[in-house]
Structure 1
């Protein structure tokens, strides 16, 4: 196995066991606005950044609030969970420490908004491992577009062949592998139904970071 020089980590469902708090969030938000969600709303939102979701709520449901207000309102619903409760995935802290000891450069590439990401990472004591946090909103592209991964590689400055992306969601893995990135699939219950497809696309599929053979 070629020596690893850099690692790009997704956040929710990969490092953080946080996907359960997102299930039903969009539906609950719309219901608070007295708007009836369409069937399959969660499937629609699963591939979207928060910015894209806010745009969808305006276009599909006629919400009058601007996108920044919608994002702020959604963040407010879950901010305390990131600040106080969301746990790390099994073996994540130990694996990050190992990579740091091996001088592997690391960053975060996430669809989650920066304030939520930073509050969880700082509470869990792992913010120091990452040289930067890249968010979909800030790069102005969701993970249906490889831009966030290209920006991460540019920041880390390592060759593509010596860089690994850790992701749990099929749509993000499809984007990254189609763009030529090396990807390790990380199991999350929210994507359990996609396991076979993820295994076919990734160079390794792990249930815990203690399983990674890198």
Structure 2
């Protein structure tokens, strides 16, 4: 793509994975019940809601106390982790519109990275199976960066990989706390709906620059105006909520082509 003489507003995009690109939040919610099922134990109604608010250790202790398990906390934690891993390796799939949007952004030479709280091997396994790993220049995990998304460290790492500036780098997220972190660090933000974040929906709408119920609402369009080309994210069909409204957002500009994948 010829990027000369274009007004760049989006240089790169940092994508969250769980609840944003992939429909994986249910497995985190149901991992305890899945683990109990491997032991032939029927989970109580609402176990997922209870464990979702716990740490791995306190959740494992709950299973020991309420189901009479004789396993150690590390053994239970590993068993739950295995259920999650198997889901990424075998079942994890796109949220509606995610595959199309990623390919369109890649084709428009927008730099793409991932910032995730999930372990790298799970993300890479899912991406390899779904055929999208090569679209990303880097995959950054909270465990490797050494900080949760309450810190902007993971977003800065992704930005540094893409060699972009925060004001021209967009963060796609479904979690309120991560959106707040990215906003405070100067990044542009797009909130994406996920049922797990339903309770924070109104606050996400108020906080993010744009908010969408589905990635299907995005339509990345490429057009030509004389010798210059432009790519825009169309707001057509979107709910039109958030702190900004526009007919489209330019995503092309001056600079070189895509760098080699660094993931």
Fold similarity call, TM over 0.5: yes
Does the Cα contact within 8 Å between 2:51 and 2:59 map onto a contact in 1? Answer: no
Secondary structure of the 2:179 match is helix
State the shift of 1:78 in Å.
1.9
Partner residue, 2:146: 140
Kindly state the Cα deviation for residue 125 of structure 1 after the two structures are TM-superposed: 1.1
Contact 1:26 1:41 in 2 (8 A): no
Cα pair 2:98 2:215 within 8 Å, conserved = yes
| Partner of residue 82, structure 2 | 76
Which digits, 9 at most, give the CA deviation of each residue in 1:63-96, with x for residues without a partner?
9666xx7765433122221112111011111111
Structure 2 Cα separation of the partners of residues 13 and 59 of structure 1: 27
Corresponding position of 1:44: 53
**1:37-116 alignment, distance < 5 Å:** 41-42=50-51, 44-45=53-54, 53-54=55-56, 72-116=78-122
Q: CA deviation at 1:101?
A: 1.5
Change (3 A) 1:75 1:121: same
How many angstroms apart in 1 are the aligned matches of 2:21 and 2:32? 22
Structure 2 distance, partners of 1:39, 1:25, is 8
Deviation of 1:208 (Å): 2.0
1:197 to partner: Cα distance = 0.3
Task: Give the distance between the partners of 2:210 and 2:193, measured in 1 at CA.
Answer: 11
Aligned length: 203
Q: Please give the secondary structure, in 2, of the residue aligned with 1:80.
A: helix
Find the residue that maps to 1:23 and give its secondary structure. helix
Unpaired segments ≥5 residues, structure 2: 1-6, 40-46, 65-70, 219-232, 234-248, 250-263
Which structure has greater helix proportion?
1
The aligned counterpart of 2:252 is none
Q: Which runs of 5+ in 1 are unaligned?
A: 33-37, 46-52
Match of 2:213?
207
Shift of 1:29: 6.1
**Cα pair 2:142 2:154 within 8 Å, conserved:** yes
Structure 1 residue 42 displacement after superposition: 4.1
Alpha-carbon separation, structure 1, partners of 2:117 and 2:195: 18
Contact 2:60 2:77 in 1 (8 A): no
TM-score, normalization by structure 1: 0.80
The 1:195/1:101 distance shift into structure 2, 3 A limit, reads same
Structure richer in strand, relative to its length: 2
Deviations 1:161-209 (CA, angstroms, capped at 9, x unpaired): 1100000011211222222221100111111221110010111111222
| Partner residue, 1:163 | 169
Alignment partner for residue 189 of structure 2, among 183, 188, 201? 183
Note the C-alpha offset of 1:6. Answer: 0.3
Length-normalised TM-score, structure 2:
0.66
Residues 14 and 171 of structure 2 are in contact (CA less than 8 Å); yes or no, is this contact kept in structure 1?
yes
For the pair shown, the structure with the greater C-alpha radius of gyration is 2
